[in-house]
Amino acid sequence: MMNYRSAIFFLCFITFTHFVKAQSTQDTTKQVLVLTYDEAKAQMLKENLRLIAAYYDINMAEARTIQAKVWNNPYLVWNQGVYSVEGNDYFNAQRQALIQFEQIFSIAGKHRNNVKLAKMSVEMNKLIVEDILRSLMLELSNTYTSLNSLQQQDTLYEAVLNNVGQLIAASEQQLRTGAIAGNEVVRLRSELIAIQAQALQNRNAIEEQMKNMRILLNLPANNYVRTSEKVTLIDSLQALPQLISYALESRPDYRLKRRSIDYEKRNLKLQKSTSVPDIKFAYQPFDRGSNYVRPYEGFNIELPIPLFDRNQGRIKESKIRVKQAETGFKQQENIVVNEITNAYYQLINTQKGLSNYSAQFIQQLEELNTNATTNYNRRNISILEYIDQQRIYIQTKIQEIELRNNYNRSANQLNFSIGKELL
């Protein structure tokens, strides 16, 4: 029975060892890519697939403008008799044949309005691309700052784990000599396991943000992006009304709503002009089958009579769409003002909270952590006091890192709300 258990344990040990080696081999295949924020932004502007796809919408709108400018093609009509009873012959052009050229002309400004609508569509698609870029910039900024925050926490956890690991090794040596009690080593190991669990959770969060970063920059899955801290310094924040004024000038979604009013008004003109029917002119240079004179030469005009269909429904719909666009524009203005106000005060509040973490306070915290290890080794403090000081150090450092991340994210949100990178 003991041999069976030993064999199972040995097999599990070999499997675990193989798994660890496989994981180590996989980690070595990762390509570390060190990127500053500006370098990441340049990479996104060049390689982001969503942005590239959005530019195709502009190209398609420009192609529709080309199509809107072209005129209707002329028609060639050839009428040929198949069989003549009198002559008992087939396809005799001498007996019956007709040639006719036709051309449809749009009147009442339909062609002009179609062209102007197509040009407006190009402008609106450009604004849509600008808004997509604005959203991508916010996503990149938040992803970059969050990834940097998590990597800073990972560095913190590594340093703490290394320190606790050395302390456990020293304590085990003292335990063998009988200098300390065994429960102290157990408490240290328990604390080590708790910190390892936190570090593991942080690593998983890093992988999640790393995935987002690779998608944004269109990077291979084996790339590991190493970030640097994105410092946002705000010495003096402009007044809120000035920021709102900037947004109303620069935000593409607001400009798009304003342009959509012009688009719907132009579409209303198009629908009114559509109520006037097109005219078709035709010219017959040759008609051997005419009953008037053979061969006959003449022309004709075809014009639908707008007796029932005068495009009434579409005209009414277009009038409603104008009112809808005007309402949407007012709503968007309200959204812009409230978004900027919210982001503005969130940034101020976060800035006040971050000011509590002065350089002097952080230095004192680092000294407290160093002294805690030294005092515990010298038996000046108990194991409980050491663990308590260690937890305070980790908690305070993580709070500072996360608050700095929130500060950068608040600045990113304000930039997004304004539509420009003012911060």
133-156 confidence digits (pLDDT tens): 999 999 999 999 999 999 999 999
Average pLDDT estimate for 239-264: 95
The pLDDT tens digits of the residues spanning 16-56 come to 344 334 444 445 578 999 999 999 999 999 999 999 999 99
**231 against 336, higher pLDDT:** 336
Token couple for 306: 């707008």
Q: What is the DSSP string of 103-153?
A: EEE--TTHHHHHHHHHHHHHHHHHHHHHHHHHHHHHHHHHHHHHHHHHHHH
Q: In this model, does residue 199 exceed pLDDT 80?
A: yes
Q: In this model, does residue 196 exceed pLDDT 50?
A: yes
Q: For the ranges 66-70, 229-233, 263-267, 391-395, which has the lowest average pLDDT?
A: 229-233
Q: In this model, does residue 80 exceed pLDDT 70?
A: yes
Q: Which residue's entry shows tokens 């969130």?
A: 346
The pLDDT tens digits of the residues spanning 151-172 come to 999 999 999 999 999 988 888 8
Q: How far apart are CA 48 and CA 59, in angstroms?
A: 17
Cβ-contact 113, 275 below 8 angstroms: no
Q: How far apart are CA 309 and CA 298, in angstroms?
A: 30
pLDDT score for 233 = 65
pLDDT score for 15 = 40
pLDDT score for 85 = 67
Question: pLDDT category, 379, cuts 50, 70, 90?
Answer: confident
Domains of the chain are 27-70+106-157+222-275+310-418 (1.20.1600.10)
Neighbours of 278 (CB within 10 A): 16
Q: Which residues of 146-175 are buried (b: 16+ CB within 10 A; e: fewer)?
A: bbbbbbbbeebbeebeebbeebbeebeeee
Q: How far apart are CA 175 and CA 114, in angstroms?
A: 89
pTM here is 0.85
Phi and psi at residue 406, to the nearest 5°: -65, -35
The pLDDT tens digits of the residues spanning 212-230 come to 999 999 999 999 999 998 7
Tell me which residue of 43, 27, 33 sits closest to 224, measured CA to CA: 33
Q: For the ranges 87-96, 98-107, 140-149, 364-373, which has the lowest average pLDDT?
A: 87-96
Q: In this model, does residue 115 exceed pLDDT 60?
A: yes
User: Which parts of 178-311 fold into alpha helices (H)?
Assistant: 182-217, 240-250, 252-274
Tell me which residue of 174, 357, 360, 328 sits closest to 257, measured CA to CA: 328
Helix (H, G, I), strand (E, B) or coil at 75: strand
Q: How far apart are CA 264 and CA 159, in angstroms?
A: 62
pLDDT score for 16 = 37
The pLDDT tens digits of the residues spanning 302-311 come to 999 988 999 9
